[in-house]
Structure 1
Amino acid sequence: MMNIVLLEPEMPANTGNIGRTCVATGSRLHLIEPLGFKINEKSLKRAGLDYWDSLDVTVYDNYPDFLERNPEARKRIYMATTKGLNVYTEVSYEPDAYIMFGKESAGIPEEILVEHRDTAIRIPMIGDIRSLNLANSVAVVLYEALRQNGFSHMRTQGKLHRLEWF
């Protein structure tokens, strides 16, 4: 099971969309406070639709609390950042990897990034674009990690309801 970690997310709609992605992929969501919203906000649940109740989500007081309660994360955490030295497709994700994303306005603090230099990953972009939308970034990196692990436990073929494929 993959683990998505959001450090101090600010926008409820992004977090709701990420929650929905986590439910669709069987991933756990870790939210590290302070949050820029209340966990019961309508906009959060609206973005997550009716999937929010099925979400495996844990909220932590701060980053040290997250590490204390998830000691295995220290060995399997990837830091998604525009400051990363590795392209997100160039690393090998363990089946139970932790992928951390920073808050929308500032990303992951450099004090944390320097501790994870080898696992700081980046989504390539052109020019001086500051970053992609947080929910989009999570989807891009998470699906690469899932692809590398063979989409384990996921349905990989669809089915037509009224017609048959040729």
Structure 2
Amino acid sequence: MFNIVLLEPEIPQNTGNIGRTCVATGSRLHLIEPMGFRITEKGLKRAGMDYWQHLDVTIYDNLEDFLEKNNNPKIYYATTKGPQKYTDVSFEDGDYIMFGKESAGIPEDILHDNKETAIRIPMNPEIRSLNLSNSVAIVLYEALRQTEFAGMQLEGHLRNFDWD
């Protein structure tokens, strides 16, 4: 199981989509305050659809609260400023992957202190960043691929036909 950490998320629809991705992948979601919305907002629930009730989610007062309650876990910091690609690291079951708020990302002092685990998604230099929920999906599915999609359904089935 992987742990997705959102540091001060601002847009409820992104968080809802990320919650749905977490349910689909068996990942835990960690939300660190302050957030730009209330957890009860319609946009959040609408984006998460009927999956939100199945989400394993924990909310923390601040970054220090998160670190303390999770015993200073191994964290990969996803950022446009990262020195290495997300495909360059070796993810392991139980790792934490942190994403910063939509308007500013993860603070640079945190990134500076964690250079070895600061990762980026390559993109054209004219683009500032990808959508947060897309970024989470990209990095999380690479982590899952590296761990051979453990515990996930690997084959689909047709309703009216066999694959013979």
State the TM-score, normalizing by the size of structure 1.
0.97
User: Per the alignment, in what secondary structure is the counterpart of residue 140 of structure 1?
Assistant: helix
Q: Which amino acid aligns with 2:70?
A: N
1:140 and 1:54 map into 2 onto residues whose CA distance is 22
1:119 and 1:84 map into 2 onto residues whose CA distance is 8
Where do residues 1-166 of structure 1 align in structure 2 (5 Å cutoff)? 1-73=1-73, 76-166=74-164
Give how far 1:128 is off: 2.2
1:127 and 1:22 map into 2 onto residues whose CA distance is 29
1:81 and 1:100 map into 2 onto residues whose CA distance is 9
- Unpaired runs of 5+ residues, structure 2, are none
User: What percentage of residue pairs aligned between the two structures are identical?
Assistant: 69
Give how far 1:72 is off: 4.5
2:50 and 2:90 map into 1 onto residues whose CA distance is 33
User: Per the alignment, in what secondary structure is the counterpart of residue 114 of structure 2?
Assistant: helix
State the TM-score, normalizing by the size of structure 2.
0.98
Q: CA offsets per residue over residues 60-98 of structure 1, 9 Å max, x none?
A: 00001000001151xx21000000011000100111000
Would you identify which runs of 4 or more consecutive aligned residues in structure 1 move more than 3 Å?
Answer: none
- Unpaired runs of 5+ residues, structure 1, are none
The number of aligned residues is 164
